Amino acid sequence: MASYEIEEWVKPVNTFVLLGRPGSGKSRTGNTITGCDKAFEFGFHAKRTPTKCESKQTEIFEAEVCVIDTPGVSLFEKQDFEDIQSALPEEGPSKIIFLLCVTIGRLTHDELSLINQYFVIFGDDFANNTIIIFTHLDEWESDMKDCNVENPKFDSYLHTLPEQTKTIFRRFHNRYLPVNNKQKKSEKMQWTLKLMTIANSMQGFNMFSNFPTVSYSSYLRDIALSYSTYLREMAFRCLRNIQGKVFGND
């Protein structure tokens, strides 16, 4: 399958842009796609936290593909948007598809807020051009086995998500793919084939337009509002805790 960094620059069929919070498994997913563990530096013990996008071009099942790994951020800003733009293939990508990496089982408020920020930046089309990649499938399966669940089905995990999270995922037309980035090379190839099949059925972005400066103030307002809701909830929770302690009903 993959021989990345080929000398001849060929216009890729698909450009995958990996998005997600820090540590969500973007770089390792990029390695699974390229079929090379060294394509993108990954892991907590990495010498440096990447601050710039990195791109690799590779051939997957005879199709040229560009993979762009992005630094993990909690707040997606103008600079992050411009970095992705400058990492796009010079020839112009045929189709840009976002791979939104989410660690199974750890959907925090910050993560949901980051997803909302992507919508503000890329517009409603973000959902039409994104595949949610649930990483750490191996750990989830192992936990299920420890709970005596034989042949666990990933769909059952999705059913356990809170309603608010389900609503967000529904916006992506339930287009998702769980991945075990530690599986054998041959299984990674099978997984990549599945990814390509889904990507081929999608329209994808062409080139994105400029960062929506006009709506930048509303973007900041949305972030402020989402955080204020969070802070309000935290305050109520603290208040309930204190009341519980004072009245001895915790």
Ligand X SMILES: Nc1nc2c(ncn2[C@@H]2O[C@H](COP(=O)(O)OP(=O)(O)OP(=O)(O)O)[C@@H](O)[C@H]2O)c(=O)[nH]1
Environment class of 128 (CB within 10 Å of its CB; exposed 0-12, middle 13-18, buried 19+): middle
State the minimum distance, in angstroms, from the CB of residue 115 to ligand X. 15
Please say which residue, 13 or 17, places its beta carbon nearer to ligand X: 17
* Distance of alpha carbon 133 from alpha carbon 16, whole angstroms: 12
The sign of the CA dihedral 179, 180, 181, 185 is negative
Which spans in the chain are helix H? 26-34, 78-87, 109-122, 125-128, 137-146, 154-159, 163-170, 185-200, 216-247
Q: Using CB atoms, what's the residue nearest to Mg ion?
A: 27
* Distance of alpha carbon 175 from alpha carbon 134, whole angstroms: 11
Q: Please, which residues bridge with residue 18 across strands?
A: 69, 99
Name residues contacting ligand X, limited to 175-234 (CB under 6 A).
179-182
Give the torsion through C-alpha atoms of 155, 156, 157, 158, to 10 deg. Answer: 50
Please say which residue, 88 or 100, places its beta carbon nearer to ligand X: 100
State the minimum distance, in angstroms, from the CB of residue 90 to ligand X. 24
**Position among 77, 83, 110, 139 found at the interface with ligand X (CB under 6 A):** 139
Strand, helix or coil for residue 196 = helix
Could you identify the residue written with the tokens 């995958």?
Answer: 16
Is residue 110 within the footprint of ligand X (CB under 6 A)? Answer: no
**Position among 14, 135, 192, 226 found at the interface with ligand X (CB under 6 A):** 135
Instruction: Find which of ligand X, Mg ion, none residue 110 binds, CB within 5 to 8 Å per kind.
Output: none
Site string for ligand X, 42-81 (x = CB under 6 A): xxx----xx--------------------xx---------
Contacts 24+ apart (CB under 8 A), 40-45: 40/67, 40/69
Name residues contacting Mg ion, limited to 2-41 (CB under 5 A).
26-27
Is residue 23 within the footprint of ligand X (CB under 6 A)? Answer: yes
Instruction: Find which of Mg ion, ligand X, none residue 175 binds, CB within 5 to 8 Å per kind.
Output: none
Is residue 109 within the footprint of ligand X (CB under 6 A)? Answer: no
Name the site residues for ligand X (rule: CB under 6 A): 20, 22-28, 42-44, 49-50, 71-72, 101, 135-139, 179-182
